[in-house]
Amino acid sequence: MSKRQHPILIAYLLGKWLKENVIGLVFLIIGMGTFVTYIGVAMLLISIFLAVGKWYTLTYQLEEDGVHIHAGIFTKEKTFIHYEKVQTIRTQTPLLFRLFGFTSVYIETAGGDDKPEVSIQGITEEEAEKITQIMNRTSRSISVEESDIIFSFSKKELVLAAITSGQFAVVLFALLGAYWELSDLIPGEFWNVLVGFVEPFSYSTWIFTALLLLIASWILSIFLFAYKYANFIVKKEEEGVRVFQGLLEKKEFFIRSHRIQSITIKESFVRKALGYCTVSVEVIAKTGKEDEGTKVVFPFIQKNRLEKIFSVCFSDYQYTLDLQGVSKEAKGFYYRSSIIWLTVIPTIITVGVILFIQIYQLLWLVIIFPMLGFFLGKIRAKYAKFEMVERQLVFSNVSFLEFQTIFVTRPHIQMLKYQQNIFQRRKAVSSIGVTITAGAMYSLAHIDKVGRKRILAWFQNNK
C-alpha cells in the first residue's frame, strides 16, 4: 500500500523558502503597492503550488525486496531501489518536525549522484524507525542501535568547547555583513540622528564600543556552537562512523572509512594549552554534497585520546607526532614572512588610519606588531615539521590562529609539486604542494633540499 508524507511538509517547504528569500521579502514589504508587490505575490503563490504539489505527488511503498518511490509534478518519476543496494540510511529532524514528532529519512546507495536517491520527509518517528529496521535487515547498512558509542560531550566539555571555539571572528564578520546588506534600507533621517549622536565621542569611547562588540560576538558564538554541537555523539559501525548532532534541529551523517582522504588535527592556542583539539576529515563521496568535503568528527576532544581514536576509527592511518623539524635556513623564512605580514603591512595601515582620523594617542599600537610578528615567526619555525611513515605523510604547521597536523596516505595523493621563488632559490629551499583526490590542497612551506628529495622519493615509491 502506497503511503504519502505528512502535510506538515508543506509548511516546512514554505518556511524554507521564506528563510532563503528573507531579503526579498523585506524589499517586498518596503515596496508595498508597487509592481514589486505583484512579483512577490506571484512568487509566493508559485512556491505554495510547488510545495503542495511535491507533497501530494510523492508516494512510497515498502515491499519485500525494495522500496518504490513515485514523484513528480510535471514529469512523473518512478524509482525502485533494492534493499541490498542500500549503503547508508540517515535521518534529519528540522525544528518544525521535531516539535510535532516528525523526521526525514534519506536513503543512499554506492552509485549515488549529487543527492540521496530517496528522501522521505515529514513522516512520524515510528514510521522512520520501521523503514530503518526493514532496510537494515536486508541491506549492508548497520543499525544505529547495534553501534558502539565512542565519543560524546559532557555538559562541562560542551561549555568549555563553546567558550574556546574561537568562532567570534566569524560571527563578527557575519554581523558586519548583515549591517552592510541592510544599511540601504535604513532611512537617511535615522543616519543623521545617529551621526549627530556619536560625533562627540572620544577615542576611548570608540575603543570601549569596539570591545563591547567583540564581547557580544564572542557570547553569540558560544550559543551558536552549543546549538550546533549539543547532543553530539559518534558511534562506530562496521564500515565507518556515524555522527549525531544538534540541539533543536537534529542532524546525522555517516562517514565510510575507505572514503576518508585526509585527517586534520587543529588546535587553537587556548585549546593547545588545555590539551584539547578538533579532528576533521576530508571525505570523497558519491552520495550527496552533504556527505563530501570537510566533516568535523570530533569538535573537541582530549589529545591524549587520539591514539586510541585512530586505531578504532581511522585504522588506515597511524597516529604519530614524532616529526622532523625544518632546517635552519628554512626557519629564517618563517621569521621573515611573519614579520612582513604582522609588522610592516599592519604598521603602514595603522599609521595611515591614525593620521587620517588624527587620534595620535593610538600610535602605541604600532609597538605591538613587531612583537606579534617575532612571536608568531618563532612559533611557526618551531612547529614546521614533517615525516613519512610507511604509506603515510604527516606534517604540521601553524597558521595565524591555530596549530595544524595533517595526515594523508600516498594512494590518496593525486598530485605533488614543488615550487621556488627567487628568495627560496638562494637558500635551496622550496615549498611543496599536496593535492588529494577529494580536491583539497595542502602546503609544506619552506622545505630544504634534503627534505624535498625525501618526500619526492617517498611519493614515487609505489610499494
Return the minimum-mean-pLDDT range out of 110-114, 170-174, 345-349: 110-114
pLDDT at position 114: 46
Residue with more model confidence, 318 or 210: 318
Average pLDDT over the chain reads 79
Instruction: Please tell me the distance from the alpha carbon of residue 51 to that of residue 54, in angstroms, as a whole number.
Output: 5
3-state secondary structure labels for all residues of the chain: CCEECCCHHHHHHHHHHHHHCHHHHHHHHHCCCCHHHHHHHHHHHHHHHHHHHHHHHCEEEECCCEEEEEECCCCCEEEEEEHHHEEEEEEEECHHHHHCCEEEEEEEECCCCCCCCEEEEEEEHHHHHHHHHHHHHHCCCCCHHHCEEEEECCHHHHHHHHHCCCCHHHHHHHHHHHHHHHHHHCCHHHHHHHHHHHCCCCHHHHHHHHHHHHHHHHHHHHHHHHHHHCCCEEEEECCEEEEEECCCCEEEEEEEHHHEEEEEEEEEHHHHHHCEEEEEEEECCCCCHHHCEEEEEEEEEEHHHHHHHHHHHCCCCCCCCCCEECCHHHHHHHHHHHHHHHHHHHHHHHHHHHHHHCCHHHHHHHHHHHHHHHHHHHHHHHHCEEEEECCEEEEEEECCCEEEEEEEEHHHEEEEEEECCHHHHHCCEEEEEEEECCCCEEEEEEEEHHHHHHHHHHHHCCC
Q: How confident is the model at residue 308 (pLDDT cuts 50, 70, 90)?
A: very high
Residue with more model confidence, 72 or 137: 72
Does pLDDT of 32 surpass 70? no
Does pLDDT of 322 surpass 90? no
Q: Which of 34-48, 119-133, 229-243 has the highest mean pLDDT?
A: 229-243
Does pLDDT of 301 surpass 80? yes
Does pLDDT of 451 surpass 50? yes
Does pLDDT of 39 surpass 80? no
**Domains with residue ranges and CATH for the chain:** 3-141 (2.30.29), 144-311 (no CATH), 320-463 (2.30.29.30)
Instruction: Please tell me the distance from the alpha carbon of residue 158 to that of residue 222, in angstroms, as a whole number.
Output: 10
pLDDT at position 103: 84
CB atoms within 10 A of CB 335: 16
Average pLDDT over residues 146-151: 71
pLDDT > 90 fraction of the chain, expressed in percent and rounded: 13
Cβ neighbours of residue 322 closer than 8 Å, sequence gap 6 or more: 387
pLDDT at position 31: 56
Instruction: Please tell me the distance from the alpha carbon of residue 380 to that of residue 404, in angstroms, as a whole number.
Output: 11
pLDDT at position 201: 56
Average pLDDT over residues 218-227: 82
Cβ neighbours of residue 305 closer than 8 Å, sequence gap 6 or more: none
Does pLDDT of 223 surpass 80? yes
Residues, the chain, total? 463
Does pLDDT of 141 surpass 60? no
pLDDT at position 78: 82
Tell me the pTM.
0.70
pLDDT at position 409: 92
Residue (of 90, 92, 15, 48) closest to 240 by Cα position: 90
Which residue do the cell numbers 614524532 mark? 322
Residue (of 234, 233, 230) closest to 248 by Cα position: 230
Distance of CA 156 to the CA centre of its chain: 23
What nine digits make up the cell of 5? Answer: 508524507
Residue (of 401, 403, 405, 411) closest to 438 by Cα position: 411
Return the minimum-mean-pLDDT range out of 134-143, 157-166, 341-350: 134-143
pLDDT at position 176: 62
Instruction: Please tell me the distance from the alpha carbon of residue 318 to that of residue 115, in angstroms, as a whole number.
Output: 32
pLDDT at position 340: 81
Contact, 292 vs 440, CB < 8 A?
Answer: no
Residue (of 147, 155, 167) closest to 244 by Cα position: 147
Does pLDDT of 407 surpass 90? yes
Does pLDDT of 144 surpass 50? no
- Which amino acid is it at 280? S
Q: Which of 33-37, 38-42, 153-157 has the highest mean pLDDT?
A: 153-157
Which residue do the cell numbers 572509512 mark? 257
3-state secondary structure labels for all residues of 155-181: HHHHHHHHHCCCCHHHHHHHHHHHHHH
Q: Within 13 A of 213's CA, how many CA atoms are on the CB side?
A: 14
- Which amino acid is it at 105? V
Return the minimum-mean-pLDDT range out of 65-69, 171-175, 294-298, 403-407: 171-175
Does pLDDT of 404 surpass 90? yes
Q: What is the pLDDT of residues 73-110, one digit of tens each?
A: 887 888 888 777 776 677 778 777 777 778 888 887 75
Q: How confident is the model at residue 204 (pLDDT cuts 50, 70, 90)?
A: low
pLDDT at position 395: 93
What nine digits make up the cell of 305? Answer: 585520546
pLDDT at position 262: 93
pLDDT at position 184: 57
What nine digits make up the cell of 134? Answer: 526493514
Q: What is the pLDDT of residues 160-201, one digit of tens each?
A: 888 888 766 665 666 666 555 555 555 556 556 655 655 565
How deeply is 398 buried, as exposed, middle or buried, from its count of CB atoms within 10 A (0-12, 13-18, 19+)?
buried
Q: Which of 28-42, 199-213, 216-230, 277-291 has the highest mean pLDDT?
A: 216-230
Which residue do the cell numbers 552509485 mark? 111
pLDDT at position 140: 46
Which residue do the cell numbers 602605541 mark? 364
